[in-house]
């Protein structure tokens, strides 16, 4: 049974990846906004922003930009899932001897691959702009693990949106709050520079702990309790999003 599921998932993931490769503009479109924000904040606003750190502003900014990149990218998962539903692909797959869960996992794994490619492009641009780190391979693997968990959590939220939406615009619009969330966090400025209520929200929402953890890892600084808070948020978001997505999927195809 497990081999059957893995095999079906592999075939359907290859199908989805071929669609991405045939339209590389998907990845290009995904990275346009994060790169534009990176350029804008580093070269226009960076000189006026005080972070309390001796590191360059691009080093401070990059972790938040990576999360925005992923939040932008998962909108395409909801979009592609919605199109498959409207095109009758799901009904066609149900008439075939394939594992039902493999249909969703194919979209999720495709999202993971596409978003990691987008993240790599953004990191490449940041390096050109002066981003530097002495982080070891092990640290980079840790950062990659955090980004993978973040991508999976948001992708399962995208699955819910794609299965529940009534229109194409509705399928992708769910990502707008996710893209906006890093702006009210420590991604661009320290939270202690914000007004009281805003600072409280910024300190206690998930993006801040995730950004602080990635930033500390890349700067080779102690991460403190931020990493445990970040992992708790990521695990909780992933479990809840996955459970809700499966419930919506079962109701939709029943």
Domain ranges in the chain are 2-253
Q: DSSP states of 169-180 as a string?
A: HHHHHTHHHHHH
Q: What value does the mean pLDDT take over residues 10-33?
A: 72
pTM comes to 0.89
- Residue 141: pLDDT band (50, 70, 90) is very high
Give, rounded to a whole angstrom, the gap between the first and last alpha carbons of the chain: 21
The 10s digit of each residue's pLDDT in 151-207 is 999 999 998 888 887 887 777 777 888 888 999 999 999 988 889 899 999 999 999
Q: How far apart are CA 166 and CA 156, in angstroms?
A: 18
Q: Are 108 and 65 in contact (CB under 8 A)?
A: no
Length, in residues, of the chain:
254
Q: How far apart are CA 155 and CA 158, in angstroms?
A: 5
């Amino acid at each position: 049974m497990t081999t059957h599921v893995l095999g079906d998932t592999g075939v359907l993931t290859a199908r989805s990846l071929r669609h991405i490769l045939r339209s590389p503009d998907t990845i290009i479109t995904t990275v346009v906004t994060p790169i534009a924000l990176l350029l804008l904040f580093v070269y226009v606003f960076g000189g006026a922003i005080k972070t309390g750190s001796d590191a360059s502003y691009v080093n401070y900014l990059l972790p938040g930009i990576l999360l925005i990149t992923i939040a932008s990218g998962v909108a395409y998962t909801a979009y592609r899932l919605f199109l498959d539903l409207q095109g009758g692909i799901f009904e066609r797959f149900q008439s075939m001897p394939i594992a039902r869960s493999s249909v969703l996992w194919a979209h999720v794994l495709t999202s993971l691959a596409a978003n990691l490619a987008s993240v790599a492009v953004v990191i490449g641009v940041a390096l050109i702009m002066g981003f530097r780190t002495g982080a070891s391979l092990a640290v980079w693997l840790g950062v990659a693990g955090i980004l993978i968990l973040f991508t999976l959590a948001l992708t399962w939220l995208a699955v819910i949106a794609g299965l529940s939406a009534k229109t194409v615009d509705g399928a992708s619009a769910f990502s707008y709050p996710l893209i906006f969330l890093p702006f009210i966090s420590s991604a661009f400025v320290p939270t202690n520079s914000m007004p009281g209520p805003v600072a409280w929200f910024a300190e206690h929402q998930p993006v801040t702990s995730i950004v602080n953890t990635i930033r500390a890892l890349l700067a080779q600084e102690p991460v403190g309790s931020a990493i445990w808070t970040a992992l708790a948020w990521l695990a909780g978001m992933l479990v809840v999003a996955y459970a809700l997505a499966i419930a919506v999927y079962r109701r939709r195809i029943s």
